[in-house]
Amino acid sequence: MPLLPRSISDAIEALSDLPGIGTRSAERLVFALLKNENGLEQKIGITLQELKKNLHECEQCCHLAEEPLCPICQDSGRSDKQLCVIASPLDLLALERTHEYRGKYHVLHGVISPLDRVRPEDLRMDSLFDRLKKDVPEEIILALSGTAEADATALYLHDELGKIFPGKISRLARGIPSGGDLDYLDAGTLSRAMLERRAFD
């Protein structure tokens, strides 16, 4: 006999499919929702249903946006002199939390990973190269975190960019733990890594 009504076990199963949420966390979340008297489960249900509806990639930087350009590309207060290349929108959020960077971004949506069959052409590299034909920054910062795949992606990009981009190419300072995504780093560490960035050579 199942211990729980189907509606509850279905909700637990769905939530435990999320990264970082095991069965026990999912159970706690579902029971917290059952206890909540403000209709939180409905609110979450509706926001999640709407989540992907109007979403697409920014025409310029490939960050997620609801308008043709994302808020960062629309912000005239941001400098065009620096372009920071990152693997995911989560890295953008992590870097923004440091309040250290006022340039623009380009989101690759992944890193090269032969094991997962992610090739350079699966990432937003062409849009980066196209973008550089129109706007040439003074510096490109390859803020790809310390996994082997991210390092390989940075190396690949460095070689490709070297063919078309005359400016400075830099990378974050050491201190990024190996295997750590940028969004797992505390703001202080990331902020230092950005401030003490060095030439990519």
Interface with Zn ion by CB under 5 A: which residues?
58, 60-61, 63, 70, 73
Comparing CB distances to Zn ion, the nearer of 13 and 75 is: 75
Question: At its nearest, how many Å lie between Zn ion and the CB of residue 30?
Answer: 36
Task: Provide the 8-state DSSP code for 170.
Answer: E
End-to-end CA distance of the chain: 63
Question: At its nearest, how many Å lie between Zn ion and the CB of residue 49?
Answer: 25
Q: How far apart are alpha carbons 61 and 54 in whole angstroms?
A: 17
Q: 19: which 2 tokens?
A: 């990264």
Comparing CB distances to Zn ion, the nearer of 58 and 128 is: 58
Question: At its nearest, how many Å lie between Zn ion and the CB of residue 201?
Answer: 29
Q: How far apart are alpha carbons 86 and 141 in whole angstroms?
A: 9
- Strand blocks (E) in the chain: 56-57, 64-65, 82-86, 104-107, 139-142, 168-171, 198-199
Comparing CB distances to Zn ion, the nearer of 73 and 111 is: 73
Comparing CB distances to Zn ion, the nearer of 72 and 152 is: 72
Question: At its nearest, how many Å lie between Zn ion and the CB of residue 76?
Answer: 13
Question: At its nearest, how many Å lie between Zn ion and the CB of residue 135?
Answer: 12
Q: How far apart are alpha carbons 175 and 195 in whole angstroms?
A: 12
Comparing CB distances to Zn ion, the nearer of 61 and 85 is: 61
